Amino acid sequence: MTVATAGPKRANRLQATKRNNQMVTAYWEELFRAPEEGRLVCWYEGIQMNPILQAADVAWCHGEAMSALLAARNQEGPAQAVAEAQGYDRELCSYARTHIGCGVLTQQEHNPDDDLAPLPGEALPERNLGERVPVPDMIISAYPFCSTGQQWDDMLYRTFGKRVPIFNISMPWIWGNKSSAKYMAGPEFRDAVDFMVAQLRECVAFIEGRTGKRYDWDRLSELMGHIKQASELRLEAMALCRSRPSPASFFEWTNSIAPVNFLPAGPEIVEYFADKKAEIAQRLVDGVGSVPQERYRLYWDGIMNWNKIGWLADKFANYDACVVSGRYTHLGFWQEPQVIDLDDPLDGMAQNFLSCPISISAPQVIEKTIEHCRDYSIDGMILHGAHTCRAFSYPQFLIGEAVGRDLAIPSAMFEGDMVDESFYSDELVNSRVEAMLEQIDAQRARA
């Protein structure tokens, strides 16, 4: 393997991605102001409840998003420390640990006997981001597969003195082990979707009970129209990256999760992906790749290491390796917009929630991964095992074995984490990645 030594090469960042940070900052500032503006606040984790809440004019805090924001801005320390001081072990999901820490910090800032009233606005600017999230007026728990997700909400419920109403949605796991079961098809999937839709309707009734207002279903359809359009543009832009060199990387898509995960639905998210797609299309015309010299095309299986996105993008660019795509970005987050019927959006929403890669069993994940690796001409696979998220990493050895057997794609496995960088070892990553690239070189030499 030849690794360039003339100096570190950097990934070519897309200009359009920069707007993501501005939208994210604007969203959080709006959330921090919500109580002053008389809006109720909901805390939730997991699936995208945001359009359902937005249609009721309820502000929302998505737990993983809050934890990722803190990590990306190097402000996760106080929340994680306070959670550990409360007895939440380092082995616990770092998203949950960080967000529960935010809950403890937020609660400590309030007099528990004064109806959870927010602090005066002038105190806000000096406070750490993790303490600025308003206390919830309601909690919605809707976590696919992983029991940590459900217990996380229960712990928040307790943190806020069991006084915040909580609504629990049970998300069925798609076993897919009957011959009738296919990805998003068959009786098992249909039953699960119907079960989910019924619960979403009950959840809307719960929200109506909290707001005291009739739910605006037309608004939900309108919001889902924006989400559907944005998601279609995102998938079209991703598909352009099947070209060599790939004009954008997995890291760019990771940096663009917020608009399809928790940012408010509206024309802004559509424009964002339209601009991104246009910039990628122009790169194709100009022959510009995401890495200066693309020699290897890789796939990233695993959640992102939020503390290290830009750093990892440059690290792989320096190996002349473009991480083109990944399970986290390409198989989730409104990944099937075509099934969303704007006249009756709940069914299509449920289908998307139940086909995300931690709702379906390993054989279906493997089938989608193999199809994807073929489409994107992948040479090697990164298996990033998040130390504190076994729900995402449990099928990784099976995935690595399957792509090795069926596509002769070598893989490199290393541990890291979503928002606790102490689980990451750079030396280990270097040695595993370099060994995999050497294996690709050897295969090419033999071909």
Task: Enumerate binding residues for ligand SF4 (CB under 6 A).
Answer: 93, 95-96, 146, 148-149, 152, 358, 389, 391-392
Least spacing, CB of residue 246 vs ligand SF4, in Å: 27
Cβ nearer to ligand SF4, comparing 336 with 417: 417
- Return the residue matching tokens 């998203």: 95
Question: 3-state class of 140 per DSSP?
Answer: strand
What is the per-residue burial (b if ≥16 Cβ within 10 Å, else e) of 6-23?
eeebebbbbebbebbeeb
Note whether 243 and 284 are within 8 A (CB).
yes
Least spacing, CB of residue 358 vs ligand SF4, in Å: 6
Tokens for 286, please give them: 């100009």
Least spacing, CB of residue 140 vs ligand SF4, in Å: 15
Tokens for 377, please give them: 């001409």
Interior CA angle at 170 toward 168 and 172, to 5°? Answer: 165
Cβ nearer to ligand SF4, comparing 332 with 348: 332
Least spacing, CB of residue 90 vs ligand SF4, in Å: 13
Cα–chain center distance at 342: 24
Element (H, E) at 233: helix 217-239
Cβ nearer to ligand SF4, comparing 97 with 283: 97
Cβ nearer to ligand SF4, comparing 42 with 340: 42
Interior CA angle at 171 toward 166 and 176, to 5°? Answer: 175
Least spacing, CB of residue 188 vs ligand SF4, in Å: 21
Cβ nearer to ligand SF4, comparing 32 with 262: 262
Helix axes 217-239, 345-354, angle to 10 degrees: 40
Interior CA angle at 328 toward 327 and 332, to 5°? Answer: 95
Please name which of 423, 371, 365 lies closest in space to residue 397, comparing C-alpha atoms.
Answer: 365
Cβ nearer to ligand SF4, comparing 51 with 149: 149
Least spacing, CB of residue 392 vs ligand SF4, in Å: 5
DSSP string, 296-318: EEEEEES---GGGHHHHHHHHHH
Cβ nearer to ligand SF4, comparing 136 with 245: 136
Question: 3-state class of 185 per DSSP?
Answer: strand
Least spacing, CB of residue 153 vs ligand SF4, in Å: 10
